[in-house]
């Protein structure tokens, strides 16, 4: 040690506390070997502190309530996407209903469709995009049509191209998401809502209807609608709606809004009423206006009078519009992202051994490294 108070430590050999000092190194090796076998003690997980109750009577204004206005301004600047798919046999008024729903010519038939076009021999997928603006809010609307569905003599597995398309959009989003240099805002082409058109037979669902909804309800939000409901009497319509609900329940087919995704009692109460009373919506579509009692209304002209599309005593179109656009549009997007997409993503990563799918960018990087 130094005589000026500075401590100088010299290295010494570590020796066992007992026994012959000459055996020290051997015992040290044994201790080292044993220490490797003993697992290290794991640190206890950090338990988050419980939030301390704060008196609701604040001492002054903070401004927390402005977050809603901030979100509104941001949404108005960026806009949002909504992708809706229509599925059903030809002649059920799918294009007309979509045009009525958004009060504009947004369907495939309104965008340069030739009336002499023949029914395709196989199911095709055709997407048409539009930008709709209302009250300063922009919505990029994509309408996905499925010409050829259910129009063949043999309709076996005709839902497969539709299921493939839906999964392809999930895959496209997943590949964008796992990119190292991903986009700030990933383009969303995932199908948020699928309107399935049921033929107004008044009897029961066809085997094709049941098979389609059974397969597709697991990957997309299905909303069943009874097309051209003006072809049935009020009694026939009520009985048919009850029969369809019963058949869907017996076959274990879940349609949107699914019971298991109700977040609270308020949601459950509201959605139970829709599931038990409104579903499936019996609708009539029309993009033509007529004069009724001094007002211009959308409707269908018949020898018996005008069937008003937005009149609840005539059909349930107004209920469908309010449901899809005014009350559940954001929830449709959230269920698509948090449930259907997450289910696909988890399965895809699990099948890939926990690794993200290879994209063109990662493949190029991998090849350059080799």
Q: Quote the pLDDT of residue 356.
A: 67
Query: Does residue 120 lie within any of the structural domains?
Result: yes
Q: Quote the pLDDT of residue 294.
A: 87
Domain that holds residue 327: 70-149+156-285+313-350
CATH, residue 236: 3.40.50.300
For residue 200, which of 158, 244, 148 has the smallest C-alpha distance?
Answer: 244
Task: Indicate whether this model's pTM tops 0.85.
Answer: no
Integer Cα distance of 59 and 81 in angstroms: 41
Integer Cα distance of 227 and 283 in angstroms: 6
Query: Does residue 60 lie within any of the structural domains?
Result: no
Q: Quote the pLDDT of residue 367.
A: 47
Report phi then psi at 34, rounded to 5: -65, -35
Q: Quote the pLDDT of residue 303.
A: 87
How far is residue 1 from each of residues 14, 15, 78, 164, measured CA to CA in Å? 19, 21, 73, 80
Query: Does residue 296 lie within any of the structural domains?
Result: no
With a cut of 70, list the residues of the chain below it in pLDDT. 1-56, 108-122, 354-370
Q: Quote the pLDDT of residue 73.
A: 85
| Per-residue pLDDT tens over the stretch 158-210 | 899 999 999 999 999 999 998 888 888 899 999 999 999 999 988 889 999 99
Q: Quote the pLDDT of residue 243.
A: 95
Q: Quote the pLDDT of residue 182.
A: 83
Query: Does residue 249 lie within any of the structural domains?
Result: yes
What's CA 15's distance to the chain center, in Å? 67
Query: What domain count does the chain have?
Result: 1
Q: Quote the pLDDT of residue 137.
A: 87
Query: Does residue 45 lie within any of the structural domains?
Result: no
Query: Does residue 59 lie within any of the structural domains?
Result: no
Element containing residue 176 per DSSP (H, E): helix 160-178
Q: Quote the pLDDT of residue 9.
A: 46
Q: Quote the pLDDT of residue 220.
A: 97
Query: Does residue 58 lie within any of the structural domains?
Result: no
Q: Quote the pLDDT of residue 185.
A: 87
Query: Does residue 56 lie within any of the structural domains?
Result: no
């Amino acid at each position: 040690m130094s005589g000026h108070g500075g401590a100088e430590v010299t290295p010494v050999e570590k020796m066992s506390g007992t026994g012959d000092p000459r055996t020290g190194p051997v015992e040290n090796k044994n201790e080292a070997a044993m220490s490797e076998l003993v697992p290290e003690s794991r640190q206890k997980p950090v338990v988050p502190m419980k939030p301390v109750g704060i008196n609701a009577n604040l001492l002054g204004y903070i401004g927390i309530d402005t977050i809603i206005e901030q979100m509104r301004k941001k949404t108005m600047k960026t806009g949002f996407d909504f992708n809706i798919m229509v599925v059903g046999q030809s002649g059920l008024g799918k294009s007309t209903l979509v045009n009525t729903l958004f009060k504009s010519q947004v369907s495939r038939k309104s965008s340069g469709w030739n009336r002499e076009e023949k029914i395709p021999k196989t199911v095709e997928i055709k997407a048409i995009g539009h930008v709709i603006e209302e009250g300063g809010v922009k919505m990029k609307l994509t309408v996905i049509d499925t010409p050829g569905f259910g129009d063949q003599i043999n309709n076996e597995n005709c839902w497969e191209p539709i299921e493939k398309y839906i999964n392809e959009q999930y895959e496209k989003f997943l590949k964008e998401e796992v990119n190292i240099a991903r986009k700030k805002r990933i383009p969303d082409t995932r199908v948020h809502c699928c309107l399935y058109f049921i033929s107004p037979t008044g009897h029961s669902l066809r085997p094709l209807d049941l098979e389609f909804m059974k397969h597709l309800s697991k990957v997309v939000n299905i909303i069943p609608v009874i097309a051209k409901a003006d072809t049935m009497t009020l009694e026939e319509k009520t009985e048919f709606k009850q029969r369809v609900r019963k058949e869907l329940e017996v076959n274990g087919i879940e349609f949107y809004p699914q019971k298991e995704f109700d977040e609270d009692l308020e949601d459950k109460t509201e959605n139970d009423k829709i599931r038990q009373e409104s579903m499936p919506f019996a609708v009539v579509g029309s993009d033509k206006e007529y004069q009724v009692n001094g007002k211009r209304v959308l409707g269908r002209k018949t020898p018996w009078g005008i069937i008003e599309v937005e009149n609840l005593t005539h059909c349930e179109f107004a209920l469908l519009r309010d449901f899809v656009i005014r009350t559940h549009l954001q929830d449709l997007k959230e269920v698509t992202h948090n449930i259907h997409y997450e289910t696909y993503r988890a399965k895809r990563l699990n099948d890939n051994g926990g690794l993200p799918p290879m994209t063109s960018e990662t493949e190029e990087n991998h090849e350059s490294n080799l």
